[in-house]
Amino acid sequence: MTNQATLERWINPDLSTMDDLLEELAIQSPQADAFAGNLAKRGREIILALRGELQKVICCSSEVLEHSYLSDEIADKLALVAVIASLIPEEMGKAMNATLVAAILVRIGIRRFCESGLK
Amino acid sequence: MITPKLIYEVWLKACRTYGFDPVELDEEAKTLLHRQSFDIAGIDASIKHMNMLRDNVPGFFKECDYEWAFDANVWRKSLEANFQARAFQQLSSLWSLPNKPNNLEFSNVVLRYTFASNVDPCTPNYITYEDISFLRMPYSFSEMVMLFTRAFSDIVKCNADMWEFKLPNDDYVSPYIKQILLRHLTDDNFHSSDPGENPADTVKRESGWFSDATEGTKKQDNLEILLSYSLIDFAIAHELGHRLLCHKHNENNYLYRDQDKEIEADRLGFTLYATSWGWRDEIIAENLLSEGARILVGPLIFHMFNEWYMTLKTAILLLKKNSNIATSAKYSTQLKSDVSESKKRFIQNMELVNKYEQSILAKGYRFSQTDRNAFTSLATSMAKFNECLVPSVQSIPEHDFHLALAAGKSQLFG
């Protein structure tokens, strides 16, 4: 379970960068690379590969849509993170921290995330 | 017992969990990209190769439960089947040795080719998921191997019985190096599932300096074949080393950057690579080195490939700082640490290369003074190529550098 201080750090752009979050995501992936590389890029790769699956469960959710129009206040963002984390597929959420994935999506912006990659 | 159906289900689950392949979760993309007409012939050829191996070492395939590999439906791309056949070549050669190390695990290795386009890192990697050990071979690795070996061959020429590094002029930057730089600089804004123009193509159209960046269409020359085959096979060997040693993830479920385990995989990978050199020799025979010396190219190019890429990344970081572009202090620190790790591994592996030279001489194989001179000239040329990468990056005009950085800025992540 992610503690409150960590969650607030993830959500607040004054306390963490997007790369910080993506790096934390990358180190949860159980792959061993032959040589070192940029962890933030690896984190990006994970989100983009899972984008379609995440869009299916998040972008049509009425609860997410309601929350995504709230203010930029931290408390509202934390509520949105909780809603999104609860929608993340179980297998994905068990292996990688669902709250972290949700925090990344909130930092990206739900509308921007849901409109990205459209063919 | 592993079956094609089980492999399909487990890999799909792994991809749904960790995002290992952007195409695996996209049915439309899979229909377009998997098992294209040119893949079918390649898959059949690789299964023929596996059949030859099975005729020679039947016990390996039976004992290690690899009958599934002979079902063509398990392979989605010809390269994927080819890489698996090469892995079998290495595994079966070591398995056959009466004096092989104890407690090695030879079974359950499945190669998967993925359409991952991330270039940093781009090297193959190893994942165990539900007792299957997947060796993931990203598209970007094949791409970078091709570009680096092409760039090297563009500048290094064969001269009598040695290789010689020779730039056409002091300002020359190979168009293949430009393509590598362009891919690195625009990578964050490029993904196979994003519509629209590839940002690298946008920059080529708008930039004078990058306009001749190219992947090239020429057939591979003998030097490229020698380097690319050796590099890919040694990379496979390294990952197989992790599997054979049953390297597991720690309690936090990641293996990332356990230096000791990487060096163990290098060492066992070297043994795998050296033990299986015979078949590879037919493909890379046409060059200056004789059989015994060719084996040494594998560990050399494996580590030099990483050195070249580290040099490019460091040079790009420096150019950003000199251009007053904000950079992450954390990334700078991580890159310094990665460079230090890389150098330590390089020294250890070159010690192995020296020991190998002594052992092949002791076994009566040919490794003449001519071989020694040619191999030294190749290693020297690789070092000089490494040195030329820094001025190549520094010669990017400011306008074109900013153009590439702007094109590479991620629309999604900012």
Whether omega for the bond prior to residue B121 falls within 30 degrees of 0, making it cis, is: yes
Measure the CA–CA gap between A44 and B121, rounded to whole angstroms: 12
pLDDT band for position B387 (50/70/90)?
Answer: very high
Count CB-CB contacts under 10 A for residue A9: 16
Measure the CA–CA gap between B133 and B260, rounded to whole angstroms: 20
Average pLDDT over every residue of B288-309: 89
**Rounded-to-10 torsion of CA B371, B353, B342, B319:** -10
Measure the CA–CA gap between B139 and B115, rounded to whole angstroms: 5
Count CB-CB contacts under 10 A for residue B252: 10
Count CB-CB contacts under 10 A for residue B73: 11
pLDDT band for position B254 (50/70/90)?
Answer: very low
Confidence at residue B12, expressed as pLDDT on a 0 to 100 scale: 95
Measure the CA–CA gap between B406 and B182, rounded to whole angstroms: 12
The packing angle between helices B222-244 and B78-96, to 10°, is: 60
Residues of B in contact with A22 (CB under 8 A): 413
pLDDT band for position B251 (50/70/90)?
Answer: very low
The packing angle between helices B259-275 and B329-362, to 10°, is: 30
**C-alpha A21: how far from its chain's center?**
8
Please indicate whether residue B330 or residue A17 has the higher confidence score (pLDDT): A17
Angstrom CA distances, A41 to B19, B317, B331, stand at: 13, 15, 11
Average pLDDT over every residue of B71-82: 97
Residues of A in contact with B26 (CB under 8 A): 52
B183-192, B245-254, B308-317, B391-400: the lowest-pLDDT one: B245-254
pLDDT band for position B68 (50/70/90)?
Answer: very high
- Indicate the residue of B18, B328, B413 with minimum beta-carbon distance to A95: B18
Measure the CA–CA gap between B414 and B410, rounded to whole angstroms: 5
Percentage with pLDDT > 90 across chain B: 67
Which residues lie closer than 8 Å to B180 by C-beta, 6 or more apart? Answer: B144, B147, B148, B151, B312
Mean predicted lDDT score pLDDT of chain B: 91
- Indicate the residue of A20, A30, A36 with minimum beta-carbon distance to B253: A30
Residues of A in contact with B128 (CB under 8 A): 30
CB contact under 8 A, A113 and B412: yes
Measure the CA–CA gap between B395 and B188, rounded to whole angstroms: 23
Measure the CA–CA gap between B17 and A46, rounded to whole angstroms: 10
Count CB-CB contacts under 10 A for residue B381: 21
Please indicate whether residue B254 or residue A50 has the higher confidence score (pLDDT): A50
SS3 sequence, chain A?
CCCHHHHHHHHCCCCCCHHHHHHHHHCCCCCEECCCCCHHHHHHHHHHHHHHHHHHHHCCCHHHHHHHCCCCCHHHHHHHHHHHHHHCCHHHHHHCCHHHHHHHHHHHCHHHHHHCCCC
Please indicate whether residue B407 or residue B364 has the higher confidence score (pLDDT): B407
Confidence at residue A9, expressed as pLDDT on a 0 to 100 scale: 94
CA-nearest residue to B340 within chain A is A36
Confidence at residue B33, expressed as pLDDT on a 0 to 100 scale: 94
**Beta-carbon pairs below 8 A across chains A and B:** 151
Name the strands in the sheet holding B132-138, side by side, starting at the edge strand that comes first in the sequence: A32-33, B125-129, B132-138, B109-114
**Strands B156-159, B162-165: pairing kind:** antiparallel
User: Which tens digits make up the pLDDT trace of B83-100?
Assistant: 999 999 999 999 999 988
pLDDT band for position B255 (50/70/90)?
Answer: very low
CB contact under 8 A, B256 and A27: yes
B31 in contact with chain A, both atoms CB, cutoff 8 A: no
User: Which tens digits make up the pLDDT trace of B338-355?
Assistant: 898 888 888 888 888 888
Token pair 């990203």 is found at B138
Query: What is this structure's pTM?
Result: 0.94
User: Which tens digits make up the pLDDT trace of A18-45?
Assistant: 999 999 999 888 877 888 889 899 999 9
pLDDT band for position B256 (50/70/90)?
Answer: low
User: Which tens digits make up the pLDDT trace of A41-90?
Assistant: 999 999 999 999 999 999 999 888 887 666 678 888 899 999 999 999 88
User: Which tens digits make up the pLDDT trace of B102-120?
Assistant: 899 999 999 999 999 999 9
Q: Which of B262, B337, B413 to mutate to test the interface with A (most CBs of A within 10 A)?
A: B413
B69-73, B258-262, B359-363, B383-387: the lowest-pLDDT one: B359-363
B45-54, B173-182, B283-292, B403-412: the lowest-pLDDT one: B283-292
- Indicate the residue of B13, B18, B21 with minimum beta-carbon distance to A96: B18
pLDDT above 70 (res B365):
no
B129 in contact with chain A, both atoms CB, cutoff 8 A: yes
CB contact under 8 A, B19 and A50: yes
Instruction: For residue B114, report the phi and psi dihedrals to the nearest 5 degrees.
Output: -120, 160
Count CB-CB contacts under 10 A for residue B360: 18
pLDDT above 70 (res A1):
no
What residue type is B186 in one-letter code?
T
CB contact under 8 A, B121 and A38: yes
Question: DSSP class of residue B128?
Answer: E
Please indicate whether residue A68 or residue B317 has the higher confidence score (pLDDT): B317
CB contact under 8 A, A28 and B338: no
B21 in contact with chain A, both atoms CB, cutoff 8 A: yes
Confidence at residue B250, expressed as pLDDT on a 0 to 100 scale: 55
Max intra-chain CA distance, chain A: 44
User: Which tens digits make up the pLDDT trace of B126-165?
Assistant: 889 999 999 999 999 999 999 999 999 999 998 888 999 9
Confidence at residue B253, expressed as pLDDT on a 0 to 100 scale: 45
Confidence at residue B233, expressed as pLDDT on a 0 to 100 scale: 95
pLDDT above 60 (res A119):
no
CB contact under 8 A, A48 and B256: no
What residue type is A87 in one-letter code?
L
Q: N- to C-terminal Cα distance for chain B?
A: 46
Q: Which of B349, B320, B348, B347 is nearest to B335 (CA)?
A: B320
Confidence at residue B160, expressed as pLDDT on a 0 to 100 scale: 82
Residues of B in contact with A13 (CB under 8 A): none
pLDDT above 90 (res A104):
yes
A90 in contact with chain B, both atoms CB, cutoff 8 A: no
CB contact under 8 A, A32 and B126: yes
